Chain A
């Protein structure tokens, strides 16, 4: 099965098309979406096993020789990201059954999710820079639908901002690819890497590197370019927010990591130094936002920004600990952000508000929710047995090895701020006297149905932390390909 690496892209696409035929039938929509995601998940797991056994999988579409056709490349990093993406989407879809409402389900909600997964998985798997642009557009156009679906006033306002920012950054993406093409004359990522190594990164390539940083920085919300994110992400309903928060910015991060480890590795002092500086500023900006708000959604949204900074700071060190820490933290952050958004969605459902000052005493009435939230919060902050620990430990270790003492201290200090911001939610929402706050009447069965996928995601993130030892070989494989581009290049340009 040489086409195995395409299955996680094709299968969601196929099921999204099938769903177009059953617009009004919600039962069919729900079951087909679940079946499609389950099959995709199985395919993705097979892919991970295959990459583990046989090394990097590469395939050039249409039986054309490598630099001339579109190459699809699945190394361990992209295989793991694809698997995590499908897993999170599955739980968010299960959560949507109770949380999203029939009105939205009847207007292409599930097809939009599946099209978005097609785009995300494609962007993770592609080995062609222009094809990456196309997959970015696939996921962005589906996300435009998801952010505006429902047509509330706030959604309409924020979707205009979101679309405007992304259209501009996509145009910049095309311009940057055009510059790169005019310099190296190829679009295949492995071939670009070879050509840049041949000409030894002159000034123009460094300029293109910075342009890529701007393009992907807008998608992945890097420091001066994250301005659109807090407003836009707060507008759509919680399941959509969970998908966006867990998946979309990570595509930008992946693109930065991929281009900065494969293409622009000959002038590390400038490009990676700039990336480190911007990453630290991102962490600081995120920390300020996370402490400034009394709104559940905003606090967790600013925690996305912090995580983006942490991951990119690790990746910018370009040493083994830093990069493997970034890979660990990237996957941890996808799982934990998915879990946290689902949990705060339940808190908002139970209390009927996202304002921290208007809630309290939930521990007496909703104890399991409280404990699950506490575990997720500790996992986010990186308390040792839980999932956030090992990634951050490795990143800090990598930063010390590279001599970035100040950066390491910023990361460690940011963990405290992260812990403070999420524990504040816990204290305000769960402690206190339940009689002071009037809870709206909510359906206990709906609450339980919403809890199940959220709890499953929290358990997964705990397993990710406890099973670190078991995951290390996979992470090592991912790191090796990032640090030694020759493995990637040899896999694509065989012969």
Chain B
């Protein structure tokens, strides 16, 4: 018997974006409120897992055509690169820098290199968690 999960799939299509936006919010809010790269990454993974539950593995891989091992690698490179940037200024490794910028739409914003490091953490968490789930769930 062919199951009909049209309700699940329709709800997923809406809820996925809500969870994804929430994870991005959590990620950017990390410096001043609870949150950051790790939780943000896990929430994004949660959104992808919801997609995997509602649709099958193949559809999701077509919709998100990333090699998640590479995503992990890029994340590690971002984090290491942020920390290693200090080497070129001859200050101790991991020394961060920040400044205020006037951005259109946002106004005066304080930007900190710790955010790039966090973006690396975010990508590593997403890459590693999705790789695990795909490997256990898939045939290969």
Residues of A bordering B, CB below 8 Å: 1-3, 6, 10, 13-14, 17-18, 20-21, 23, 59-63, 72
Smallest Cβ distance from A42 to chain B, in angstroms? 16
Query: Which chain A residues lie closer than 8 Å to B96 at the CB level?
Result: 62
Query: Is A61 touching B93 in the complex (CB atoms < 8 A)?
Result: yes
Query: Which chain B residues lie closer than 8 Å to A63 at the CB level?
Result: 91-92, 95
Query: Which chain B residues lie closer than 8 Å to A2 at the CB level?
Result: 90-92
In this complex, the interface size class of chain B, counting residues with CB under 8 Å from chain A, is 10 to 19
Picked from B72, B73, B84, B95, the residue with its CB within 8 Å of the CB of A10 is: B84
Query: Which chain A residues lie closer than 8 Å to B80 at the CB level?
Result: 10, 13-14, 17
Query: Which chain B residues lie closer than 8 Å to A21 at the CB level?
Result: 70, 73
Residues of B bordering A, CB below 8 Å: 69-70, 72-73, 76-77, 80, 84, 86-87, 90-96
Q: Which residue of A lies closest to B70 (CB)?
A: A21
Query: Which chain B residues lie closer than 8 Å to A3 at the CB level?
Result: 86-87, 90, 92-93
User: Complex: how many Å from CA A2 to CA B96?
Assistant: 16
Query: Which chain B residues lie closer than 8 Å to A23 at the CB level?
Result: 69
Q: Are A59 and B72 also in contact (CB < 8 A) when A3-B87, A10-B80, A14-B80 are?
A: no
Q: Which 5 A-B pairs have the closest CB atoms?
A: A20-B73, A61-B94, A62-B94, A63-B95, A17-B76
CB<8 Å pairs between A and B, sample of 18? A1-B90, A2-B90, A2-B91, A3-B86, A3-B93, A6-B93, A10-B80, A17-B73, A17-B76, A17-B77, A17-B80, A18-B73, A20-B73, A20-B76, A21-B70, A59-B93, A62-B94, A62-B95
Query: Is B92 touching A61 in the complex (CB atoms < 8 A)?
Result: yes
Smallest Cβ distance from B86 to chain A, in angstroms? 8
User: Complex: how many Å from CA A98 to CA B106?
Assistant: 58
Query: Which chain B residues lie closer than 8 Å to A20 at the CB level?
Result: 69-70, 72-73, 76
User: Complex: how many Å from CA A40 to CA B86?
Assistant: 19
Query: Which chain A residues lie closer than 8 Å to B95 at the CB level?
Result: 61-63
User: Complex: how many Å from CA A63 to CA B83?
Assistant: 12
Query: Which chain A residues lie closer than 8 Å to B94 at the CB level?
Result: 61-62
Smallest Cβ distance from A128 to chain B, in angstroms? 13
